[in-house]
Amino acid sequence: MQKRSVAMFVVFATLLGGCIQGIQDSKKITSGQTEAEVTEKIVLKVFHAGSLTEPMKAFKKAFEEKCPNVEVQCEAAGSAATIRKVTELGRTADIVASADYTLIPKMMYPDYANWTVMFAKNQIVLAYTDKSKYANEINSENWYQILRRPDVKFGFSNPNDDPCGYRSQMVLQLAELYYNDSTIYDDLVAKHSNLKFVEENGIYILRMPKSEDINPDTSKLMIRSMEMELIHGIETGEIDYYFIYRSVAQQHNHRFIELPPQIDLSSAEYADIYKKVKVVLANGKGVVGKPIIYGITIPESAEHKEYAEKFIELIVSKEGQRILKELGQPPVVPSVDNVDNLPEDLKEYVKP
Amino acid sequence: MREVFLEVSAEKNLGSFRLDVEFSMSRSYCVVLGPTGAGKSLLLELIAGILKPDKGRILIDGKDVTNLPPEKRNIGFVPQDYALFPHMSVYKNIAYGLRRDKKGKRKKVEEIAEKLGISHILDRKPTTLSGGERQRVALARALIIQPKLILLDEPLSAVDLRTKEKLMEELKLVHSEFEIPIVHVTHSLIEAVTLANEVAIMMDGKIIEKGKTKDVFSSQVQEVADFLAVKGLFKKLSDVFEQWK
Amino acid sequence: MRFSFYLFLAVLSSIIVLFILLPIVATLSTQFYDFDGLLEALGDKAVWNSILLTYYAAMLSTLIAVVFGTPLAYLLARYGFPGKSIIEGITDVPVVIPHTVAGITLLAVFGSNGLIGSFSPVKFVDALPGIVVAMLFVSIPIYINAAREGFSSIDIRLEQVARTLGASPSRVFFTISLPLVARHIAAGAIMSWARAISEFGAIIVIAYYPMVAPTLIYERYVSTGLSAARPVAVILILLSLAVFVVLRLLLWGQKR
C-alpha cells in the first residue's frame, strides 16, 4: 500500500516538474517548427471581423483556386476581439481584418503591425423581415416614427463590444440632427436604458456604462454582444428591426431600408457631419463618428507573409473589389496608413 | 389424495427461454428441484405476481389470482440473496409489510423476532449480519404479513454446511409452527430429501414430474431418473430416504 | 511486475490530472501577479451579482431537473416499452447540439413569438427564466443519466419483495428506490448544477441580460481585454471549487 502511494507520488512529482520545464522550453520548439511545415500544405490564418464572414469565404475560394498549395482558415469574431487574439492571447495570424480600420493603429501599432490598408466600406441600415410589425409601412422617411411605436421592438449590438453597436448609436443621434427632432434618441434608447448622449462644445457624446450596467428595458430593446447574435432575434421574430451593416443584411436576405447618407456613416462626403458624435466606451477609449472603412494588415508575427501579401493583393485587385460589391459591401479605392511600411508588392494597388 | 392448494398452469415466452409449467401442490412443504437455468426462479416470480403469464392461470386456495398484482396476493417471498432493504434497520425491515397501526406493530415484530431468535439484532443494519441471521430476518419479514404461502428461492445456497443443517431444521419448524405451505426452490437433492413432503422436478422450463417425495424419487420417467442419476446420488439417497420413512 | 503495473497506472493517471490542472493553475498563477486586479474584481458588485445570479439560476435549473428528471430516470431504468430507445436518444440530444444552436432553438420556443413564449405569462427572453431554461436544456442529460444509473444499480429484487409485502408501486418508489438512489441523485444534481454554471453559448442567445458570470467574463474580455476578464474567471473558479469540495465532502461523509 505504502509502496503504491510512493510510486504514485514520485511519478506525479516528476511529471509536474517535467511540465514546468516543458512550458519554459515551448517557445524554442515552436520557432523550430516552421521549417518542417514547408513541405505540407500551407495554412494561411485569417482573423477577421464578423461582418466580413461572407466576403472572406469568397476570397478564400478564389485564393485557394489560385494557390492550390495553400489552405485559408478564417476565424470570425468582433473586431476588437479579433485583434486581441493576436495581441493578448498570443495567437499567430497571417492576416487581421477589422471592421474599423482605426483599431489596427490603436491596438496593434507598433509592436504587432505597422501599416493598414483600407479596402472596403459599409453603411448602417435598418433591417427587418416580412414578419416585422409595420413592414409594409416603413420607409427612409418614417423609420424612426415606426420604431417609436410602443409595440415595436428593435435591437443593436453592444457598443462596448462591437463597432456596429456604437455606430448604431451614432446613427440614431445623427438622426436627431438631420430630422431636427431632439427626442429621437431619447424616445428610442435613452428612455429604455442607461445610454444617453450629452452635448459638450457642439459634440454629442455618449459615455458608455459598463456592459452589465446598460440595463436595457428588454421589452423594447434587444442588445446582444455581436451583430451576428441579433440575427437570431430577428429570425425568430423576437425583434422587428435591427441596426446592421448593409452587407450583413443583404447576405442574410433580410429586407432593409437605407438611411439618409448624412447619418448612415457611409460617405466620406459627410465626414464632417459624422464627426459631431462621439462614443466613449466603457474601457475608456473614445471613438468619433466617421465613415465605416474596413482595414486589413499583416501582423508582425505572421508565419507566411509572402502568401498573406498575395491574399491582400487579391482583395484590393479588380477581382476582389468585384466580389465585395456583389456581397453588398461597397469597395473603396484602397488607401493606406503608414505607406512607408507597406510591402512593396502592394504599393501599386493603393493610393497613398 | 390431499386437497390441491396451489395450482399453476401457465406459459411465458421470454425471448430465448420458454416457460410452460403445470404445477400443483397441497398445503405442504414442496421442493422444486432442478438444475440451474431450469426456470425455477421464474416459477416463483409467476406465483408471486412479479411475472405475468402470457397464457394460463394461477389458483391459490381455489381463488384465481392471475391478474392480481404482487401486493394483493399475500404471499411471502424470500429471494436467493434475501433482498433485505439495506437502508433500514432489521426492525424496519421486518415491520415493512405491516400497515400503519402503530400500537400493534412493535409487539408483532418483537413476537416474530422472538420466535426466530433474532430479538437481539433488531437495531442492526442488514449489512452487518451473518448469512444465517439474514435468512431469519428475511423469513420474519415474510411471515409477519401472515401470508398464505411462502416462497423460498435457493434459501440455503449462501451459507456454510453447519449453518445449513441448522437452518434446515428451522425451516421445518417454521412450516409446522406457522402452518404455512412453502415452495422451496433448489438444485440440492439433500434439501429435497430432508425437507420436502412433495417434490416437483423442473427442467428446461417444464415440470417433468411431481408428487409425494417418495413417489418422485422412485419415478420411472426417464428424464427424472437421468437427472437424479446425474446427481450421482440417486441410489444411495433413495436408500437413505427409505430408512428415514 | 506488480510495481510496474502501479507505475503504468500512475503515469497515465498523472498525465490526465495534469492536463486538467495545468490550465487552471496557469490562470490562477497569472492572476497572482495581478493581485490588484483580483482585489478590484472582488470589490466589484457586478461580479458578485453575476456570480450569485449564476448560482441561483443553476440551482433552479437543478431543482427542476431533479423533480422532472427523476421519474423519467426511474421509468428508463425499470420499464421496457416501445420507443424506449428513442426516448433515451432524445434525452441525450442536448449533449451533442452545439450550444449556440441550442440557444436558437430555445429562442424559437420560448421567444415572444415562440411555441410557448407567445402565450406564456412568464417572460423568457433576457430574463431569469430564459437563463434557467438554457441551463436546464444543457444540463438535464447529465442528471438523468446519473439518476438512471442509480436506479439501475438497485437490486430489482428489493422492489419485488417490497411489492409482495403489500406495498403499492408508489410506496415502493418512495420508501425503497428513492432512498437507495439518494447518493446518485445528489451526485447527479451537483454535476448538473456545475454544468449549468458553466453554460454560456445557449444563454447568450436567449438571455444576454441579466448577465450571468460566464457572460460577464466574455463581456469583460471583449470590451476591455484579458486583464479584466481573468479576475472574474478566477473568482468563479475558486468559489465553485470551494462549493464542490464542500458538497463532495458532505456526500462522502454520508457514505461513512
* C16 domain residue, yes or no: no
Share of chain B above pLDDT 90, in %: 55
For residue A215, the chain C residues in CB contact (below 8 A) are 209
C245 and C177 in contact (C-beta within 8 Å)? no
CB–CB contact C158 B74 (8 Å): no
Distances (CA, A) of B134 to B58, B94, B130: 30, 11, 6
Give me the pLDDT at residue B104, please. Answer: 82
Q: How many residues does chain C have?
A: 256
pLDDT for position A22: 43
Reported as a single tens digit per residue, the pLDDT across C111-157 is: 888 889 888 899 898 899 999 999 999 999 999 999 999 999 999 99
| Residue given cell 443583404 in the structure block | A250
Confidence band for A225, pLDDT divided at 50, 70 and 90: confident
More confident residue, C44 or B218: C44
Q: What is the pLDDT of residue B241?
A: 61
Cα gap A171→A157, rounded to integer Å? 13
Which candidate in A131, A158, A211, A242 is best for mutational testing of the C interface (most C CBs within 10 A)? A211
Question: What phi, psi does A49 have (nearest 5°)?
Answer: -65, 150
- Cα separation values, A284 from A101, A104, A210, Å: 19, 17, 10
Please tell me the distance from the alpha carbon of residue A35 to that of residue B99, in angstroms, as a whole number: 83
**What share of chain A in percent tops pLDDT 90?**
57
Judge: B87–C179 Cβ closer than 8 Å, yes or no: yes
On chain C, the residues whose CB falls within 8 A of the CB of A7 are: 3, 6-7, 10
Q: Which residue has the cell 454446511?
A: B161
Report how far residue B192's alpha carbon sits from residue B195's, in angstroms, rounded to the nearest whole number.
5
B49 backbone φψ class: left, alpha, beta (φ>0; ψ -120 to 50): left
CA dist., res. B211 & res. B215, Å (int): 6
Would you tell me which residues 156-175 of chain C have a C-beta closer than 8 angstroms to some C-beta of chain B?
A: 157-158, 160-168, 175
Chains A, C: CB contacts within 8 A come to 112
Name every residue whose Cβ is closer than 8 Å to that of residue A109 and which is 6 or more positions away in sequence: A338
Q: How many Å separate Cα C86 from the centre of its chain?
A: 23
More confident call, B3 vs B245: B3
The candidate with the shortest Cα–Cα distance to A242, out of A164, A343, A310, A351, is A164
Taking residues B36-58, report their average pLDDT: 92
Residue C205 in contact with partner chain A when CB distance is under 8 A = yes
Q: Is the pLDDT of residue C227 over 90?
A: no
B146 chain-C contacts, CB cut-off 8 A: none
Are B50 and C167 inside 8 Å of each other by CB?
Answer: no
Asked if residue C242 is part of any domain, the answer here is no
Question: In chain C, what is the greatest distance between 2 CA atoms, to the nearest angstrom?
Answer: 69
CB–CB of A223/A158 below 8 Å? Answer: yes
Distance from CA of B143 to the nearest CA of C (A): 10
Nearest CA in chain C to B99: C166
> Residue C160 and residue B45: Cβ atoms within 8 Å?
yes
Chain segment C39-93, per-residue pLDDT in tens: 999 999 889 999 999 999 999 999 999 999 999 999 999 988 898 999 999 999 9
Answer whether C3 sits within 8 Å of A88, measured CB to CB: no
- Asked whether residue C100 is domain-assigned, the answer is yes
CB B96 to CB C165 under 8 A? yes
Note whether residue C161 is domain-resident. yes
Neighbours of A5 (CB within 10 A): 11
Contacts for C241-250: CB closer than 8 Å, 24+ residues apart: C243/C55, C244/C190, C244/C194, C247/C186, C247/C190, C248/C190
Distance CA(C161)–CA(A103), nearest Å, equals 73
Q: Which residues of C touch A129 (CB under 8 A)?
A: none
Q: Is C202 helix (H, G, I), strand (E, B) or coil?
A: helix
What do you get for the CA distance between the two ends of chain A, in Å? 76
d(CA C116, CA A329): 38
Cβ–Cβ contact C178 with B under 8 A? no
- Is C176 in Cβ contact with B142 (below 8 Å)? no
Query: Looking at residue A38, what is its pLDDT?
Result: 47
Percent of chain A at pLDDT exceeding 70: 88
Residue A65: per-residue pLDDT: 92
Gap from A126 CA to chain C (nearest CA, Å): 21
Radius of gyration of chain A (CA): 23
ipTM of predicted complex: 0.88
| pLDDT at position C253 over 80 | no
Q: How far apart are CA C42 and CA C232, in angstroms?
A: 8
pLDDT at A87 over 50: yes
Taking residues B159-171, what's their average pLDDT?
86
Identify all chain C residues contacting B71, using CB atoms and an 8 Å cutoff.
163-168
- Who wins on pLDDT, B242 or A232? A232
Looking at residue C252, what is its pLDDT? 76
Asked which of A78-82, A84-88, C5-9 is least confident by mean pLDDT, the reply is A78-82
Closest to C155 measured CA to CA, from A79, B87, A332 = B87
pLDDT digits (tens, 9 = 90+) for B191-210: 888 899 999 999 899 998 88
Would you call the peptide bond into A110 cis, given omega within 30 degrees of 0 as the criterion? yes
Amino acid at C91: T
Residue C7 lies in a domain: no
Of the partner residues B70, B81, B85, the one whose CB lies closest to the CB of residue C164: B70
Q: How confident is the model at residue A142 (pLDDT cuts 50, 70, 90)?
A: very high
Q: How far apart are CA B6 and CA B32, in angstroms?
A: 13
Per-residue pLDDT of A262-317, as tens digits, reads 999 998 789 999 999 999 999 888 999 999 999 999 999 999 999 999 999 999 99
Q: Could you tell me if residue C223 is inside a domain?
A: no
Per-residue pLDDT at A50: 84
- Is C153 within a domain? yes
* Residue C251 CB contacts under 8 Å (≥ 6 apart), including other chains: C183, C186, C187, C190
Please, what is the angle between helix C45-78 and helix C213-223, to 10°?
A: 130
Mean pLDDT of all residues belonging to chain A: 86
Count of structural domains within chain C? 1
Inform me whether the pLDDT recorded for C223 exceeds 80. Answer: no
User: Average pLDDT of chain B?
Assistant: 87
- Does C166 contact B81 at a Cβ distance shorter than 8 Å? no
How many CB atoms within 10 Å of residue A61? Answer: 12
Q: What is the mean pLDDT of residues B15-32?
A: 92
Which cell numbers hold the place of B132?
A: 444465517
Answer yes or no: is pLDDT of B131 > 90: no
Residues 6 or more apart whose CB falls under 8 angstroms from that of B16 comprise none
pLDDT of residue B229: 64
**Where would I find the H helices in A298-338?**
305-316, 318-326
- What gap in Å lies between CA A119 and CA A100, rounded to an integer? 11
Interface check for C39 against chain A (CB to CB < 8 A): the answer is no
Of the pLDDT bands very low, low, confident and very high (cuts 50, 70, 90), residue A35 is very low
Which chain C residues are within 8 Å of B97, Cβ to Cβ? 165-167
Euclidean distance between CA atoms C54 and A149, whole angstroms: 34
User: What helix, strand, coil percent values describe chain C, rounded to 5?
Assistant: 80, 0, 20
For the ranges A339-343, B78-82, C182-186, the lowest mean pLDDT is seen at A339-343
- Reported as a single tens digit per residue, the pLDDT across A143-190 is 999 999 999 999 999 999 888 999 999 999 999 999 999 999 999 999
Cβ contacts (< 8 Å) between A84 and chain C: which residues?
221, 225-226
Peptide bond between residue C98 and the one before it cis (omega within 30 degrees of 0): no
Asked if C12 reaches chain A (Cβ–Cβ under 8 Å), the answer is no
Determine the Cα–Cα distance for residues B209 and B203; give it in Å rounded to an integer.
10
Q: Would the CB atoms of B45 and C176 count as touching at under 8 Å?
A: no
Q: Above 60 in pLDDT, residue B66?
A: yes
Q: Which CATH number do you get for residue C114?
A: 1.10.3720.10
Give rounded-to-5 percent helix, strand, coil for chain B.
Answer: 40, 25, 35
Task: Give the span between the Cα atoms of B123 and A241, in whole angstroms.
Answer: 71
Question: What confidence tier does C222 reach under pLDDT thresholds 50, 70, 90?
Answer: confident
Residue B233 has pLDDT above 70, yes or no: no
Cβ neighbours of residue B114 under 8 Å, at least 6 residues apart?
none
Q: Is the pLDDT of residue A92 over 60?
A: yes
pLDDT at B36 over 90: no
Position A208 pLDDT exceeds 70 = yes
User: Which pLDDT value is given to residue B70?
Assistant: 94
Give A-chain residues touching C18 at CB under 8 angstroms: 15-16, 19
Judging contact as 3 or more Cβ pairs under 8 Å, the answer for B and C is yes
Interface test with C, best of A11, A24, A84, A160 (most C CBs within 10 A): A11
Contact with chain B for residue C79, Cβ under 8 A: no
Task: Decide if C223 and A216 are in contact by the 8 Å CB cutoff.
Answer: no
Query: In Å, how far is B127's CA from the nearest CA of chain C?
Result: 13
CA C114 to chain centre: 25
> Residue C132: which domain range?
57-212
* pLDDT of A70 strictly over 80: yes
Q: What's this model's pTM, rounded to 2 decimal places?
A: 0.80
The answer to whether A259 and A124 are in contact (CB under 8 A) is yes
C50 contacts chain A (CB < 8 A): yes
Residues of B in Cβ contact (< 8 Å) with C158: 83, 85-86
Which of the four pLDDT bands, split at 50, 70 and 90, describes residue B239?
A: low
Residue C244 lies in a domain: no
